[in-house]
Structure 1
Amino acid sequence: MERTRSTPIPAAWADVLTRVPRDLFLPDEVWLRDSEGGYVSCDRRLDPGGWMGAAYSDAPLVTQFVTESDGTRSPSSSASMPSTVLRLLEDAELGPGTRTLEIGTGSGYNTALLCARLGDALVTSVEVDAPLAARARENLAALSYSPAVIHADGADGWLPHAPYDRVLATCSVRTVPTSWLEQTAPGGRIVTPWDSAWSCFGAVRLTKHRDGRADGTFAAYGSYMLINGQRTDIELFRDVLREGQTPETGTTALSPWAVAGDDPALDFHLGLTVPGAWYSWDTTSADAHTRLWIADTTATSWASVDHDGRRTDTFRTAQYGPRRLWDEIRASYERWTRAGQPAIGRYGLTVTPEGQTAWLDSPDTPVTPP
């Protein structure tokens, strides 16, 4: 595996990586991202050299697609970028005797790394997709690993083997499931990739306390598929925009490009502080040269910000629904700027059985809206 970080691979993990060949956990056909945001097939039967090169590249590989109701194909399982896999494992701070629950078995590669480091008896892995779970068991058995691989919804954890010293997810979440918190032993850690409707990026490392809460900080790495139960199937023109809607119109001096996609730290902040908001760009409208659409995951509110192709000091706005989404985005952007444009690592999260709260620098300075 080619290491993309400047720090060396710890000796314990370097040994594990040599004992777990990644190619043994991949199907004959995998898909890589192309330069246009799509996917290109790489088939071992047609191009064995190219396939093996992909298997040991530091890149995510899609291993399975699902066909949506509208006929489009979306990735439903992947082999994650190896450097990110290792970052999550390092952040889990595994040691001898660490009883670990993995959420999302996938191909079984990450599970095998856990087995090689900890031993089979300490590893429980949960996979929501039954055929994937079956293939993972076969892949693991080929290397003589036999951890408990359970076909179940990872959002529920796996109570029969609890409590765990570590809960390690290979999918992202927007809300840490209460079951993970409850099934983690005091002093244990929950490590999971993070997601928001605005930005799919980051990871969070939480420590469980004796009073039942867990808290910790975010890290600026990782982009993982969202856990099944937290996904939303909402399309702008199908579900959000309706005939007869009369938006409130106005203007803004804040450029839409300033808030949408250019700065990972800002995107992360907006995802935390304007919950449920997501965006898309539109260059096909007859009314604007370029339009930024913003909507929320309830499909009840939307906003648009229009660039006329000429002026860069003022932009037309429209907002509809119970939320004024552009106002929320603008206010959150201004708070981020006043705070000195904080990096992702300055944010943290506190999780209790009643809910979760994001904060900046300290739990005493929450950023999650009440």
Structure 2
Amino acid sequence: MLDMLDVRPGHRVLEIGTGTGWNAGLLAHRLGPGLVSTIEVDPVLAAQAAGCLERVGLDADVIQGDGACGHAAGRPYDRVVATCSVRAVPPAWIAQTRPGGVVLVPWESLWFCYGLLRLTVDGYGGASGFFSPHSAFMLMRGQRVDLRIYRDVVRESHVPVESVTRLSPWAVAGDDWAAQFSVGLQLPDVWRTWHHDPDVEGVASRLWLATNDATSWAAVDWDGADSDRFTVWEYGPRRLWGMVEAAYEWWRGAGRPGPERFGLSVAPDGTHVPWLDTPDHPVPVLSRSAPSRTCAPDNEVHHGTGTL
């Protein structure tokens, strides 16, 4: 990640997610004093990291606050790097980066946590860049969705529609990470989880799908015998498995591209547009994603280890 960040002498860097302070320490060692700010939402971690950096004589400004809002006081930055994954790039990170600067962030869809996005900021309030097939980080706290299939989604009163599919659930939620990455880009508000049958050791026999507003769900069952015929149950206003089938067929028709062929453009209004190979070839987005939230007034706490 630090190699992809491509920091140069004199660059001002903002890191989102201080953690132990290790990454901020590497950046401060590389760039020198007064050029690195790092923000951590957890007050205990922020204080510990500040102490560690101070003890080894590295100058980084450690801030305790909401990383999604960046750190406006230190802008403009030449580089912004996150050590937590996001499902949508917070607008503040782009707004606080100078034109031509880089925002490097681990990516996660509701479907699959995988990928690293390197955006170059333009002069009009937007940014664009390619994904790389690396990284899997803990999701930023403000973007987490706490949903459970049986607690929040499926109800006894639901009467699902039954059908049959020949698309294996393992094709879209198994070992093919490229397929999963593509499905996640096309279905940004659909999540999935496996149900493991206790009677079949080590085998997941049902794939659950649901929207993050809990209004639609689907289940794909394997009977343990037939490898090319699966029962589908769907409920709600959207037929989720049909959408997954369409997303998978689009990916196959495009030549089964890996994450490195995909990119993302973020418009000044925060709209995210994924694309394949070039921005003029948008990926078909088959569902909706939640809008980015706005930042509250500044409530940061500085730990005084830096000079910014």
TM-score (normalizing by structure 1): 0.74
* Corresponding residue to 1:336 among 221, 232, 251: 251
What's the counterpart of residue 215 of structure 1?
A: 128
Once residues 220 and 283 of structure 1 are traced to their aligned partners in structure 2, the CA distance between those partners, rounded to angstroms, is 28
Bigger relative CO (Cα 8 Å, ≥ 6 apart) = 2
* Corresponding residue to 1:307 among 222, 226, 249: 222
The CA deviation at 1:353 is 2.3
* Corresponding residue to 1:358 among 248, 267, 274: 274
The CA deviation at 1:168 is 0.6
Contact 1:282 1:290 (8 Å CA) reproduced? yes
1:364 counterpart letter in structure 2: D
Once residues 191 and 289 of structure 1 are traced to their aligned partners in structure 2, the CA distance between those partners, rounded to angstroms, is 35
What's the counterpart of residue 316 of structure 1?
A: 231
Contact 1:295 1:301 (8 Å CA) reproduced? yes
What's the secondary structure of 1:116's corresponding residue?
helix
What's the counterpart of residue 285 of structure 2?
A: 369
1:162 corresponds to 2:75: yes
CA distances 1:230-279 after superposition (whole Å, capped 9, x unpaired) = 00111111101111101111111111111112111111101100112222
CA distances 1:181-202 after superposition (whole Å, capped 9, x unpaired) = 1000001000010001111111
1:126 counterpart letter in structure 2: I
1:170 to 1:283, Cα distance in 2 relative to 1, 3 A: closer
2:243 counterpart letter in structure 1: E
1:96 corresponds to 2:12: no
Q: What percentage of aligned pairs have identical amino acids?
A: 48
Once residues 181 and 228 of structure 2 are traced to their aligned partners in structure 1, the CA distance between those partners, rounded to angstroms, is 25
What's the secondary structure of 1:272's corresponding residue?
helix
The CA deviation at 1:297 is 1.6
What's the counterpart of residue 109 of structure 1?
A: 22
Alignment map for 1:207-356 (pairs within 5 Å): 207-284=120-197, 290-354=205-269, 355-356=271-272
What's the counterpart of residue 299 of structure 2?
A: none
The CA deviation at 1:360 is 0.5
The CA deviation at 1:285 is 8.2
Once residues 323 and 245 of structure 1 are traced to their aligned partners in structure 2, the CA distance between those partners, rounded to angstroms, is 14
* Corresponding residue to 2:86 among 170, 173, 177: 173
The CA deviation at 1:160 is 0.7
Contact 1:357 1:368 (8 Å CA) reproduced? no
Contact 2:40 2:46 (8 Å CA) reproduced? yes
The CA deviation at 1:146 is 2.8
Once residues 250 and 285 of structure 1 are traced to their aligned partners in structure 2, the CA distance between those partners, rounded to angstroms, is 25
What's the secondary structure of 1:316's corresponding residue?
strand
CA distances 1:41-87 after superposition (whole Å, capped 9, x unpaired) = xxxxxxxxxxxxxxxxxxxxxxxxxxxxxxxxxxxxxxxxxxxxxxx
* Corresponding residue to 2:64 among 131, 151, 160: 151
Q: How many residues align?
A: 282
The CA deviation at 1:289 is 8.4
TM-score (normalizing by structure 2): 0.89
The CA deviation at 1:368 is 4.7
CA distances 1:146-174 after superposition (whole Å, capped 9, x unpaired) = 31111110000000111100011011111
CA distances 1:84-139 after superposition (whole Å, capped 9, x unpaired) = xxxx1111110000100000100000000000001130001111000100000011
What's the secondary structure of 1:121's corresponding residue?
coil
Contact 2:207 2:220 (8 Å CA) reproduced? yes
What's the secondary structure of 1:313's corresponding residue?
coil
Q: Structure 2 stretches of 5 or more lacking a match?
A: 287-308
What's the counterpart of residue 201 of structure 1?
A: 114
Once residues 327 and 120 of structure 1 are traced to their aligned partners in structure 2, the CA distance between those partners, rounded to angstroms, is 55
Contact 1:240 1:300 (8 Å CA) reproduced? yes
1:150 counterpart letter in structure 2: I
Once residues 165 and 33 of structure 2 are traced to their aligned partners in structure 1, the CA distance between those partners, rounded to angstroms, is 58
Contact 1:283 1:289 (8 Å CA) reproduced? yes
What's the secondary structure of 1:332's corresponding residue?
helix
Q: Structure 1 stretches of 5 or more lacking a match?
A: 1-87
Once residues 324 and 112 of structure 1 are traced to their aligned partners in structure 2, the CA distance between those partners, rounded to angstroms, is 49
* Corresponding residue to 2:38 among 122, 125, 135: 125
